[in-house]
A and B are shown apart, each in its own frame.
Chain A
Amino acid sequence: MSGAYLPLLLLFGVSILNAIGMVAASHLFSPRRDTPQKLMPYESGMIPLGSTRARFSVKFYMVAISFIVFDLETIFLIPWAVQMRELGWGPFLAMCMFVVVLAVGLLYEWKKGGLEWD
């Protein structure tokens, strides 16, 4: 392991301590005077109606799947991008094919309405 990572460990430690410390200190210093109204979920002053754990649109799931696919595409582009000038035309054409395949996927999703949000 290169020594470059060592200060990171220190920074992680400081950041975690800071995060825990801030929440803990606030908990120690702050008063607690709970009333039933205060403990209620905030719904603009109304008595909460129904369950919060309602099911939500499947579109969020589509977004997450599309995100994984295109995030992976980005990851595959990165090693090529940094060595692109050394690698030359062959890998460029391979990358063109790769991008076109995924562009077809995006186009398909678009035409099928997977990107619509209404």
Chain B
Amino acid sequence: MVDILFYVFAAVAIGGALGVVMAKSPVGSLLFMVTTLASVAGTYVLLEAHFLAAIQIIVYAGAIMVLFLFVIMLLNLGHDYHRDLKGGAYAVVSFAIVGAMAGMLQRQLRGSGITDAVASGGRAIDAAIAEHGAIGAIAEPLYTTYVVAFEITGILLLVAIVGALVLAKRNVA
């Protein structure tokens, strides 16, 4: 069951990704991207990464893609857009790079006992979820061991606000 679902989600994710680059209109690309993000969230659920799946949808599909949609509309990209990529050569190069990366991943994972690691990790996750709930399990490391990284994230978000203000207000002054 999990295997079948994984292949369904994987197929939808890859199909959506292809749609992003091949769709005629930018809004279409955006919707394909939302589909891809949702399918990736589905695979996260299959991996017992419940919180990650939820924030994948809340943050990426529900927030960042809304910003993209605004930008597409702000820049007046309606349907009338021009093919600005030359196609052919770019496509070949990109597929070659993706293929090379997939090959490297395959080499790394083969015979590395990754299946056992995933299985034992899954059991550890199950135990943690049983004790703290799906969300509570990640709280302790996030706010104790990695607290510095967490605070820096806060500063990063501050920088994002300042940056956006500078860009948006530049022409007003």
Q: Which residues of A contact B (CB under 8 A)?
A: 1-2, 5, 53-56, 58-62, 64-69, 71-73, 75-76, 78-80, 82-83, 86-87, 90-91, 94-95, 97-98, 101-102, 104-106, 108-109, 112-114
Interface string of B1-13 (1 = CB under 8 A from A): 0100100000000
Determine the chain B residues whose CB is within 8 A of the CB of A101 once the complex forms. Answer: 151, 154-155, 157-158
* Nearest CB of B to A37, in Å: 24
- The closest CB in chain A to the CB of B162 belongs to A108
Determine the chain A residues whose CB is within 8 A of the CB of B140 once the complex forms. Answer: 83, 86-87
Known contacts A53-B76, A53-B78, A64-B70; is A112 also within 8 Å of B169 by CB? yes
Contact count band on B: 35 or more
Q: Is the interface of A mostly helix, strand, loop or mixed?
A: helix
Q: Name B157's contact: one of A5, A72, A86 (CB within 8 Å).
A: A72
Interface string of B140-169 (1 = CB under 8 A from A): 101110010011011101101110110011
Q: Which residues of B contact A (CB under 8 A)?
A: 2, 5, 45-46, 48, 51, 55, 58-59, 62-64, 66-67, 70-71, 73-76, 78, 132-133, 135-136, 138-140, 142-144, 147, 150-151, 153-155, 157-158, 160-162, 164-165, 168-169
Q: A68 contacts B64, CB within 8 Å?
A: yes
* Nearest CB of A to B149, in Å: 11
Q: Name B74's contact: one of A58, A82, A108 (CB within 8 Å).
A: A58
* Nearest CB of B to A64, in Å: 4
Q: B132 contacts A83, CB within 8 Å?
A: yes
Q: A94 contacts B147, CB within 8 Å?
A: yes
Q: A66 contacts B164, CB within 8 Å?
A: yes
Q: Name B71's contact: one of A61, A68, A98, A108 (CB within 8 Å).
A: A61
* Nearest CB of A to B68, in Å: 9
